[in-house]
Structure formats: C-alpha cells, structure tokens
Amino acid sequence: MSRDGELRQFVARLLGWARERDVEQALASIDLARAHCAHLVLCGAGDLVSIAYALHRRTLGNDKPFILCDRRRGDTPASVRAPGNHRSGTAAIAAASGGTLCVRSSRPPRDFGVVADAIRGAGEVQYVVCAGDDYDLHPLLVVPAPIRLPPLRGRAGDLPRIVDEYASDAIAELGAREPCFTNADRAWVLAHATKSLSEIEKTTRRLVALRTSANMSNAAARLGMAPVSLSRWMGRRNLRRTQRPAR
C-alpha cells in the first residue's frame, strides 16, 4: 500500500470508516500541514501526541524528526516509548527541522510567540497542536478543519476492527506473527481498554510484546520500559503472561 493509501486507512480508523466526508476533510487538513500552509489541530480524548506521531510516520516517515515541545517535561532524547522533547520552543523548532513539531495546547512553551512567528515564516516544519476535548472553546481553532476524533463510546461497532488494526501495527513493529494476538486478547482489550485510541494502542502493543517474548525482561526491553513497570501494569489488570515462541 502507498503512503497516501496507508494514511487514508489510518484516518478512517481515527474517525470512522463510514464517515467518508470527515475523512476527506481531515486528509485535506493534513495536506495543508504537510505543505506548511497551516498548522494541524487534533481534538479528542486520550494521549493525542501518540496520534500526532502516528500521522507523522504516515506523512513524513520514520526518518524525519518528530519533536514534542512540552514545558512540563525535561529536555529528553527520543526513546522507544516517547518522542524527544524540548521545553524551549526555539530549541524545539531547530530540532524539528524537516519534520514535525508537536505542542499540547494546555502546555505551550514560554516562548510561544517566538514559535508562532517562526512557524509562520518557515517552510521546514509541520506543526501539530493537540487541543484535547475542549476544542469548541480553544482560541487556536480559528484555523480551518481541525481533526476531531469522535468518542469511542459512540463507535461500538468499529471497536473490534480498531483493536485488530492496532494489533497489526504492533505485530509489524515488533516483528511478531499474527497468531500471537488471540481472540481472547481482543476480547480482553474490548472489555478493559477502550477509553481512548491511545489506550488501545498501548495495550495491544504491550500484549503483543508479552505474547512473543521469552520472559518479562525481554518484553519490557522491546517496549522500552522497566520490567517492574510492566509487571505492575499487568498486576493492576490481573493479567498473566502466556509464553509463546518469540519471532
């Protein structure tokens, strides 16, 4: 599948496969951001940074930088679990050159005015704002056509397919085999982890790693987290690791 075809399929996953008009509108907004003609605004529940990162991979590719500018986090390099972050907007713009700069609307950099001026004058950065659920009130949304992710509680019929597609992403990323994500795994995710798309993404990825790793330490290493953190995550959910041959 072409990159544009993959992007269209992913946007349909975010918004609903039956909402063709919304998908087309979202793709038009993404095209404007990719061409540096406007910034892209994401609205909805959960961790929208993970959605922004997924769009980045499907528009610009893994070889281009994706930089978060969050003043509440430290200056950190990218890891398996999280994108690189700069508290300073000026530093973030420099690091994101040729790629994507992502900002949470609730945590703009202290030098936000500098960032806004630089973004307007530069054609080297795709700019994404994660605006959360309060999109009807936020002043950034004077831009045309923000991407508004509908609540999952209204997409019950889509949820099995959403879970399966995120599981397929995890399988491809981790180099696993499709049988590793079972019907029982799907049923568990549907029953316990569908508050947001980011929760589904995180849960399916961890389940695939657990099912295809020789032990807890190996699974945690593939996920970029400490074994004790993964063990606690499982314990809070009363999950057991079913060992399967790693691939």
Domains in the chain (CATH in brackets) are 3-150 (3.40.50), 153-236 (no CATH)
Instruction: Tell whether pTM > 0.85.
Output: yes
Q: How far apart are CA 192 and CA 169, in angstroms?
A: 20
Q: What is the pLDDT of residues 172-229, one digit of tens each?
A: 999 987 789 999 999 999 999 999 999 999 999 999 999 999 999 999 999 999 999 9
Over residues 89-104, mean pLDDT: 92
Q: Does residue 127 surpass a pLDDT of 50?
A: yes
The whole-angstrom separation of Cα 54 and Cα 107 is 21
User: Closest Cα to residue 21, out of 133, 198, 145?
Assistant: 145
Mean pLDDT calculated for residue range 52-81:
91
* pLDDT at residue 244, rounded to an integer: 45
Q: Closest Cα to residue 76, out of 224, 235, 207, 202?
A: 224
pLDDT tens-digit readout, 151-163: 999 999 999 999 9
